[in-house]
Structure 1
Amino acid sequence: MNEYENIRPPQRLLAFDTATSSLAVAVTEGGRVLAERNIHAERNHSAYLVTAIGDCLEAAGIAKQDIDGIAVGIGPGSYTGIRIAVTTAKTLAWSLRLPVYGVSSLAALALGGWAGASGQDAAALGELAARRGEAGRRATAGGHWIVPLIDARRGQAYTALFGVPAPGRLPERLEPDAIRLMDGWADELKRQLEQLPMDERPARLWFVGETEKHEAAIAPLIAAFGELVQFVPYELEGAWMGIAGLARTWLPADEVHALEPNYTQLAEAEAKRLRNA
């Protein structure tokens, strides 16, 4: 028997993320997004988060006591922002005796940026998340690769790689969340693409999120692959955080007191390279 076979996600989920300059909150029921709040509150999430949660619950017509679970972005991203979200989620989960689910902020960013740019339907993807969908496989011909970016300064970004093997599927993780030097990361992605036969390459490679400061590092990919590479400047929205949170609830909940932010660190080789720069 699959160890997750008997897991059923919460019916009513509160989801929020403050890992970037965007404060994103949503309330979902089943696969439907009932309400969302999006606030650009860079460096001041603590002043808005609790109010935004209350406003979102009110718009959804749901009291705190009616929530069945909480999903929270655990980073990587802003050190202070992540701590605010995780602390708030743990406090609510403990006081209301609810399960809490840590969600990769990069996974939510990847989902939202790609879905909006490629014309995906939020209701359809929400329904897919609600019924778990099918296990993914590495996206190849006709599929998409998605690289979320949160700027980490000094030529670095918090980033990962996700793949969508076919239309009507949710992104699946291909590479872990990490803070990476962008020129080296672009070289690695270029190498991976070049090693694939032409008929197995993805149709698109989407860079989504805080892309502006990293366009120069990604330029060699554009030179090599042209329109296959697409930039999508994007700030996380509550609806997509809600759907990413719902997809996460098909795995076991986190232990509330053990839930911690994911700050990530440079790999030792990259850290040494940066020190010697």
Structure 2
Amino acid sequence: MTWDFLPLASPESWKGGRLAPAKKALTGAQWLSRLALESHSHDIVHLHSAGVLRHARFALRRYVLHCHGTDVRVQQYLPAWSAAVRTGLRQAEAVFYSTPDLAEHILPHRSDAEYLPVPVDMSLLPRWTPTERPRVVFASRWGHDKGGAAQLDAAERIVAAAGSGAEMIGLDWGPMAEEARRRGVQLIERQDRAGYMSMLASAWAVVGQSTGMIGSSELEALGIGAPLVMSVPLPLYASAPPPVLGSSAEGAADAVAALVRGELPHNPQMGQEYVAARHGVAGALAQVLDTYTTVLAKRG
């Protein structure tokens, strides 16, 4: 199949002094023009993130919408975004959502929306190669949408439990990053994809977000084979529990400490098999193509 990818306009292209507003307007106009033009040469426009609808709706007549989290969990409840997000949900030809918690935010507007588990291409993941010195990696940005206070509490407990012999690494990303630093996490600059995957692969333990959800980073950690620790229960995964450790801030701290001391055996294959079975790209592609076929048939 022939397909093309149109990335969002980069803020880097309009930074700079008094001309910044004009540059931003020009960049946005060029992006919308290209989106409008290319939408006429493709059978399907698959739009990622309902937040993009705030602008993209001016250039699109029809589209399939793919919701990923913050767009419907946070942005749709903000006055500046709400109308665009909710109208976009109702007008989309089809709607996908990436994690099970999003159902309550989407189904009231689109009862036919489909849960499409985050696909992970196992062939692109590095092999789990933990560092010689124990290393704990916090996978998420530091913010309310990733668990906020609960994430900081878990980090503090984990730092204390693991001891000074372990390296605690997190991303310098998010409004709560400085507070994470104060609680003992060493923050490093955001990585490109290869660097980030390498960081996950180097971990003795990867600490996931504190939302009760398993996002892309957590799934990639499992696919790599690294031990994944979650500081909150995962009730929406009860029918098919993922092979994670923890389920509370105290439990997460205990699990990380045991991993760092080498007292907790770990089988990388369990996480890899879980991801391959429930988040493989072949299954996701089949579901997407089936929906595309239904969308095209409805057009008549």
TM (normalized to structure 2)? 0.32
Query: Which structure shows the higher helix fraction?
Result: 2
Q: Which structure has the larger Rg over C-alpha atoms? A: 2
TM (normalized to structure 1)? 0.34
